[in-house]
Structure 1
Amino acid sequence: MSDVTVARQVLDVLADHGATTVFGLPGVHDLAFWGPARAERGTDPAPVVVRHEQTAVYAADGWGRRSGRLGAAVVTTGPGAANAVAAFGEAAASHSPVVLVASEIPAAAARSGRFRGVLHESRNQAALFAPLAKAVFRPRTPEGVAAVIAEAAATALRHPRGPVYVDVPADVLGRPAAAEPVAAGSEARRTQPWASISGAVDLLAGRRVAVWAGAAVLDDAEAVGALAGRLGAPLATSFHARGLPGSLGVPPHEPEVAAVIGDADVLLVLGGDLDGMNTRNWTMPRPPVLVTVDPAPPADPPEWTADVALTGELRGLLRVLTERVPAHEPWFPADLAARVRRGLDADASTLLDAVDSRPDGTALVCDMAVAGYWAGGYARVTEPRGLAYPVGWGTLGFGLPAAVGVASTGVPTLVVCGDGGLVMGVGELATLVQERLPVTVLVVDDGGYGMLRYDQTRAGVEHRGVDLVTPDFVALARAFGVEATDVPALDGLGEALRKALATGAPHLLRVAARLTPPRTTSPRWHEG
């Protein structure tokens, strides 16, 4: 492979592990990633150029969430790497399989234990990522890169999934690659004792079961639906698992849904996500018996101890449970979700009706904004991986950058954001045009940080820091070459949205509205 650089080898190995699109920015230290393509390879990833390093990782995260494959990003040294930290944290909190490769200062200029003020130098760049990363790799030679890059990709993809950080000196990236990359170690095969499976069956048999599904089961949607149907159980999901067939489609934060879950005899949790944001910091009603099924033991001790915890190959475990548990008639109200939707705030319902009018197959991305909270928790999601929502770390500004990654998988995409979050990544409107991405940006403009304004209003304090000067979003979008429409009111949003999506081209819709936050937001968790 003497004609292949280390940077080219890195991209090839990431592609071999599923990252056929890579996101990044060129910098003086990582230009090797933008070297010549390899004509002999059928798959030859070249980085999609975005406008900010934070976007590179958000987009890789969005790619991974939508595709179910490895997301990948490349950034330059120092401030370039530092710019990516917030997005890397979101990937960590949401268990997204992402590999971030950053350059480091040239090995020829580095001195062990000394800070010399070399361009972009920091004392320990990897230390920025270590508290968030599933693993950190710091190869310093071509042989070192070849030895670890496949393992980095495989580590990100193993359950429990998470982002992996790799840094390579700039002068190593441009050197000839080592002969062949070392294959990743195979994942140990897990087998579950039959006694544990029998124990789970005994706990489930003949009882009212509520099923909770998390992100780890997204590739086994049919098996999850079959088991829930066999048990006659309501199927609630975490935010990340929305879109599973047969699921309720409304969040467990709603009192009627929480009451049904709490009335069950057993909570069967498939694929995790029993985290604070999904469970109201573990204060949601919980049945007396807990059974969990996961592909691997959790990285951290769970807050709720299971009576039986099964770990192993999910599809096989779900099949065995479905075969062995006796059938049970549905015991929950068939119109539960419809009743919840009928009780929602009128303006929120109008927004949701508009979002729900998008064609099937249109991916939905939501930012941390009041409109995003409504869409992320309540909008129609018709397929697994149909929603990308940053509820893991709560990173404002996720929406448009993540939509770059989602749309790069080849699907039309609707992103719902607020004015505050959009401004954080507004430069990515240029990326939409440059990459010809079919993204419709819906910005619900409430003139500031609407959620924080609501918090201050509830606390009875003066509004400070929450009312902002906002640009003319329609004019701004057009300046980037994006078609844009100012929608006069929420009741005209559905038609405008359908027209925008039908063009298959980048489009921005702006509508002015101030919405009350939904019950999925923490200030409303415990309202009656």
Structure 2
Amino acid sequence: MTDGRTGGDLVVETLRALGAETVFGLPGQHALGLFDALRRAPDLRLVSSRVENNLAFAADGHARARLAADPAGPVPVTPVVVSTGPGALLTLASLQESRAASVPVLGISSQVPVAGLGGGRHGYLHELPDQQASFRDVVKSVHVVRTASQVPGALRAAWESAATVPYGPVWVEIPQDVLLAPAELPPITSATARPAPLEPLPELVDEAARLLAGAENPVVLAGGGAARAGAEPELLELAEALRAPVLSTFGGKGVFPWEHPLSGQSWLEDWHSTEFLAAADVLLVLGSGLGELTSNYHRFAPRGRVVQVEADAGKLESNHPALGLHADVKLLLSALLERLPRREPDGRAERAVADLLARVRARLAAQDLELEQRVLTEVRAAVPEGTPSFWDMTMLGYWAWSAWNTDGAPMHSAQGAGGLGFGLPAALGAAATGRPALAVSGDGGAMYGIAELATAVQHDLDVTWLVVDDGGYGILREYLTDAFGETTATELARPDFVALASAFGVPAVRTDPDRLRADLAGALRTPGPSVVVLPQRLRLFAPTHLDQG
């Protein structure tokens, strides 16, 4: 019955049946049986990388890009395959980002032979006493296979877990001898995952509708959960029905039209925005836990009622008392729309939004930040319609959280967990969908992923990488200087990025603010990988604080 098939083939067959089209993988000794099976699966694309953490970031970027491109389609669970021990552990920081940002990534690791599981003393290369324990508090669920017959069921359960809201990464471990052993099962062709919809309780929807219908000053805060749910049309209809302003969290950027008259945009580190949210008599929070970045570092203090919709039950009322609805945002909004009356436009909400944004602009104008705003404007103007961007934790990325116009240019960042090195590998993963992507890094973050220029060349991925070179960890430089008057370990020796990119065979150019738009636009128009280096120090804007009004 085996026909030369192995446990590795069972993995590949099950992934294809579940809907996988692309696998991100880096081989290792215990995983060879799986990679040999991938070699014999021409209809399943394998994208490699140079370092496992970048590989997992690439899978994350691939899933985000697919989800943004088709929010109504099947949940784009993206497999990433690594080897035991060091290879597996290197994915942890990336999987933390996927968990924080609710990105459906399916991690698959090999393991030592079955006889060595749980021991840690057998002397196998890469052996850990309890590898799965390292992942339990990072991913949504962990699944360990001990026999070939467990492979299809474990992968199906893991896929279903990743695709159930809130989406997130999952982990599957398969021993080396299971991957190499002859497959005693027939070919797997019909494995399906059916994640259950997370529907709101009708009684709670009724109460939410009652509160919103009676509100004189309703405001909506749209978070990453609204974006992941593909709730853009329902949110637009709700905002216009309620005449309610909509502000977006950094993770929720793009879920509401940036230039809409009701859009308060996403200046959440600005005290004017914090107060605008706090002054609502009913604040509808969609897919956000009101965490540190969203709450202006926990200084947000709502004075009205909060209605919080969240797929992660643990985030309900975790920071503020609320009417909590454990539900998928899209399903909740659809249910609300059936219950809410439509208000006649009177211009009041639009005037409030215009006043908010005018105050934000006035604050920026008083801080001598023309260069920073100009650089971000030039980058935005260079990006073609529909091109996604992936941002590292860098000075320009912090500006983009607040100021990037997402209409026609979706952006993704590592603000979920806040680790460095996300930009380039995530953009490479997005480009593996067949569409171009932009990555933005500082020189510090760029060094985390510089080896992946080889990946870009090897797979001919259409990624343009903008590196803003300020000679160090610019954000930490500002933080340390503000707090202590001087810096420690922020100033960095770094390579000539243009020469280094050229050594990889990647076209590169050094630019300045005057030529940035043209140089970046030219790189984005040119197929294949390219690098644009901007040597420039940028500054952060200073938020308006409570005692400043």
Matching of residue 402 in structure 1 with residue 433 in structure 2:
no
**What SS does the aligned partner of 1:155 have?**
helix
Out of 170, 173, 181, the position equivalent to 1:175 is 181
Which residue is equivalent to 2:211? 203
Letter in 2 for 1:223: E
Q: Do structure 1's residue 351 and structure 2's residue 375 form an aligned pair? A: yes
The one-letter code of the counterpart of 1:373 is Y
User: Of residues 422, 436, 439 in structure 2, which corresponds to 1:415?
Assistant: 439
Matched, 1:70 2:77: yes
Structure 1 residues 525, 505: CA separation in 2 closer, same or farther (over 3 Å shift)? farther
Could you tell me which amino acid in structure 2 is paired with residue 334 of structure 1?
A
Of the three residues 508, 511, 525, the one matched with 2:534 is 511
Give the whole-Å Cα distance in 2 for the aligned partners of 1:107 and 1:228: 55
C-alpha separation in 2, matches of 1:59 and 1:510: 22
Instruction: Give the aligned partner of residue 354 of structure 2.
Output: 334
Describe the SS at the equivalent of 1:226: helix
Q: Is the 8 A contact 2:212 2:218 kept in 1?
A: yes
- Deviation, 1:286, is 2.0
1:194/1:299 CA distance change after superposition, 3 Å: closer
Deviation sequence 1:163-213 (CA, Å, 0-9, x none)? 111111112112344336695675455554433222111111142111111
Aligned twin of 2:132: 126
Contact 2:271 2:296 in 1 (8 A): no
Query: For the residues of structure 1 that align with 2:110 and 2:212, how far apart are their CA atoms?
Result: 52
State the secondary structure of the residue aligned to 1:87: helix
> Kindly tell me: are residues 325 and 141 of structure 1, through their superposed partners in 2, closer, same or farther at Cα, counting changes over 3 Å?
same
| Maintained 8 Å contact 1:367/1:390 | yes
Structure 1 counterpart of 2:260: none
- Other-structure match for 2:337: 322
Is 1:256 the counterpart of 2:272? The answer is yes
1:213 and 2:237 aligned: no
Q: Paired residue for 1:100?
A: 107
Change (3 A) 1:416 1:231: same
1:441 aligns to 2:465 (yes or no): yes
Q: Deviations over 1:5-48 (max 9, x none)?
A: 32233234334444321112112221223325698x8x832321
Aligned partner of 2:525 in structure 1 is 502
Question: Aligned in 2, Cα 1:249/1:20: closer, same or farther, shift over 3 Å?
Answer: farther
Contact 1:366 1:376 in 2 (8 A): no
Q: How far 1:335 moved relative to its partner? A: 6.2
- Where in structure 2 are the equivalents of 1:129-528 lying within 5 Å? 129-177=135-183, 178-179=185-186, 186-188=194-196, 191-207=199-215, 208-218=217-227, 219-246=230-257, 247-294=263-310, 296-300=311-315, 302-305=317-320, 307-312=322-327, 314-328=329-343, 329=345, 330-331=348-349, 332-334=352-354, 336-337=356-357, 340-341=360-361, 343-344=363-364, 345-357=369-381, 358-382=383-407, 386-487=410-511, 489-518=512-541, 528=548
Deviations 1:463-518 (A, max 9, x none): 3211111100000001011100001x223211111111011221111111111124
Asked whether the 8 Å contact 1:57–1:84 carries over to 2, the reply is yes
- Please say if residues 253 and 525 of structure 1, whose CA atoms lie closer than 8 Å, have aligned partners that are also in contact: no
Contact 1:201 1:324 in 2 (8 A): yes
Is contact 2:83–2:109 with CA below 8 Å preserved after alignment? yes
Deviations 1:208-254 (A, max 9, x none): 11111122222121111111121111211122221123344332222
Give the SS at the match of 1:468: coil
Q: Aligned residue pairs: how many?
A: 519
What is the aligned-residue RMSD (CA, Å)?
2.5
Question: Contact 2:232 / 2:255 at 8 angstroms: preserved in 1?
Answer: yes
The TM-score, its normalising length taken from structure 2, stands at 0.88
The verdict on how the C-alpha distance between 1:320 and 1:301 changes in structure 2, with shifts beyond 3 A counting, is: closer
Is the contact made by 1:250 and 1:337 (CA closer than 8 Å) also made in structure 2? no
Flag the 1:415–1:313 CA change in 2: closer, same or farther, 3 A.
Answer: closer
Unaligned runs of 5+ in 2: 68-75, 258-262
- Of 197-206 and 357-366, deviating more is 197-206
- The 3 A distance-change label for structure 1 pair 411 and 302 is farther
Closer/same/farther in 2, CA of residues 500 and 172 from structure 1, 3 Å limit? same
Shift of 1:395: 0.5
Question: Residues 273 and 525 (structure 1 numbering): CA distance in 2 closer, same or farther, change over 3 Å?
Answer: farther
Q: 2:73 aligns to what?
A: none
Listed one character per residue, the Cα deviations across residues 366-398 of structure 1 (whole Å, up to 9, x for unaligned) are 0011122112332121259x2221111111111
Indicate the SS of the match to 1:509: strand
Percent identical among aligned pairs is 37
1:44 aligns to what?
A: 43
Post-superposition Cα deviations, 1:38-91, rounded to whole Å, max 9, x if no partner, equal 98x8x8323211111011111111111121211220001111112111111111
Distance 1:224 1:159 in 2: 18
1:335 & 1:415 partners in 2: Cα distance?
33
Alignment-mate amino acid for residue 65 of structure 1 = R
Q: Is the 8 A contact 2:457 2:529 kept in 1?
A: yes
Distance 1:341 1:140, change over 3 A: farther
Larger mean CA deviation between 317-326 and 466-475 belongs to: 317-326
2:92 is matched with 85
Say which is worse superposed, 238-247 or 83-92, in terms of deviation: 238-247
SS in 2 for 1:360: coil
Alpha-carbon distance between aligned partners in 2 of 1:89 and 1:234, rounded to the nearest angstrom: 32
Instruction: Name structure 1 gaps, 5 residues minimum.
Output: none
**Contact 1:355-1:379 within 8 A present in 2 as well:** no
- 2: CA distance between counterparts of 1:278 and 1:164? 26
Once residues 235 and 173 of structure 1 are traced to their aligned partners in structure 2, the CA distance between those partners, rounded to angstroms, is: 51
Contact 1:249-1:381 within 8 A present in 2 as well: no
